[in-house]
Structure 1
Amino acid sequence: MDGVTVIDHPLVQHKLTIMRKKETSTGSFRRLLREISTLLCYEVTRDLELTTARIETPLEEIDAPILEGKKLVFASILRAGNGLLEGMLELVPSARVSHIGVYRDHETLEAVEYFFKAPDSIDERLVIVVDPMLATGNSSIAAIDTLKKRGAKNIRFLCLLAAPEGIRHFREAHPDVHVYTASIDRQLNEKGYIVPGLGDAGDRMYGTK
């Protein structure tokens, strides 16, 4: 699909299969999500711009590559986005963090925003929005609407699973935001859940219903 990258690394796909199993425990699910988020982060940051800095190794001075520009922002859509956020921060500990509180009304399936916090100069930073599921797309669209209103211009969206319907809706709303996902599943069911999916990521991560 246009504007979508499926991260099909064997380790990503293996861990995702274990996460899908209904018998996978809360602790194992949480650990796997943290592990897979590091691998996904590696892919979504693959093309970051580099510059060089003069450093001294134990043997000599060299011009070595370092990241260019302001530090990244990882924007977590609460609450399930925090499961991806933790692993990504292990890989990029200097990244700034934004939290966006959005929940899906189970009657209308529409997104309701209740919290937003972001670092300064968000308009000058690459913002990577994270949420395990891109289902209807309503929550993700609302979160990125908010980020753009606050000045964000360079945005990417990272998720674990996506539904074709959600991708189409998301891309119609934000054609400038590239989507990275580990899997495009078959469809949404009548309740707006991704199938075959893995259930509710937040509930499985925190042991709630």
Structure 2
Amino acid sequence: MDEAIHPRLTVLSHPLVQHKLTIMRRRETSTGEFRALAREVSLLMAYELTRDLPIERVPIDTPLEPMMAPAIAGKKLCIVSILRAGDGIAAGMLDLVPSARVGHVGLYRDPVTHRPVEYYLKLPEDVADRLVIVVDPMLATGNSAAAAIERLRLAGCTNLRFACLLAVPEGLRVLAEAHPDVPVYTCAVDRALDEHAYIRPGLGDAGDRLFGTK
């Protein structure tokens, strides 16, 4: 991927991720299947996102003898879901890291301007001390992701990452311009946005497909 689109972009090309994403894209995939696949793909994404967590040695007793064993150092991470569809990604990540804190940013896209409007915010008190993974299934215009990250910066967060199932060059450029230091992890970069700001070829409205609301 051209660094001009985003300087810190990682596309997760693992065969399992790509296979599951293909099933999610299919029109005939049911709500239950879609939700389960989103959870599975998100767990696999979390594995990659947490690859470089700091490690320290701690004393433990095995059934045979004491030892110094590796454990994650410092405070654990925080997953921040951009409502509502982000909850479908957060759930899978929590399967892998159940001790993670969870925050929520409520944003909806104005149907005319396509700009984000904040209606809800709830974060852990110590969110600024944690690695924060911001999740939303789709990086379309990039405006909601950029606004959510800006809101987290105002809360003192400095160690931020963004994860999504699909992105497009338009959204990646917006996020790179607003927050060039924030790494982006996605499963695929699709062709473009259409006139209604939907990702093409995409997978439809991720929120509706996760929750069966259309």
The interval holding the TM-score normalised by the smaller chain is: over 0.9
Match of 1:73 in 2: 78
Kindly tell me the number of residue pairs found equivalent between the two proteins: 209
Paired amino acid for 2:9:
V
Matched, 1:132 2:143: no
Structure 2: where are the runs of 5+ without partners? none
**TM-score, scaled relative to structure 2:** 0.96
Q: 1:54 aligns with which of 59, 65, 76?
A: 59
Return the offset for 1:192.
0.6
How far, CA to CA, are the matches of 2:174 and 2:91 in structure 1? Answer: 28
Match of 1:88 in 2: 93
Structure 1: where are the runs of 5+ without partners? none
How far, CA to CA, are the matches of 2:35 and 2:76 in structure 1? Answer: 27
**TM-score, scaled relative to structure 1:** 0.98
Return the offset for 1:71.
1.4
How far, CA to CA, are the matches of 1:93 and 1:122 in structure 2? Answer: 16
Paired amino acid for 1:19:
M
How far, CA to CA, are the matches of 2:109 and 2:64 in structure 1? Answer: 57
Per-residue CA shift, 1:112-133, capped at 9, x if unaligned?
Answer: 0000000012221100000000
Per-residue CA shift, 1:140-196, capped at 9, x if unaligned?
Answer: 111111111111111000000000110000110001110000001111111111111
Match of 2:68 in 1: 63
Percent sequence identity over aligned pairs:
62
Matched, 1:170 2:175: yes
Match of 1:117 in 2: 122
Q: 2:11 aligns with which of 6, 10, 15?
A: 6
Per-residue CA shift, 1:80-123, capped at 9, x if unaligned?
Answer: 00001111111101000000000111111000000000001222
How far, CA to CA, are the matches of 1:55 and 1:89 in structure 2? Answer: 25
Match of 1:141 in 2: 146
Return the offset for 1:59.
1.1
Matched, 1:193 2:203: no
Corresponding residue SS for 2:41 = helix
Corresponding residue SS for 1:77 = strand
How far, CA to CA, are the matches of 1:19 and 1:108 in structure 2? Answer: 28
Please identify runs of 4+ aligned residues in structure 1 that moved more than 2 A. Answer: none
Matched, 1:34 2:25: no
How far, CA to CA, are the matches of 2:126 and 2:40 in structure 1? Answer: 30
Paired amino acid for 2:208:
D
RMSD: 0.7
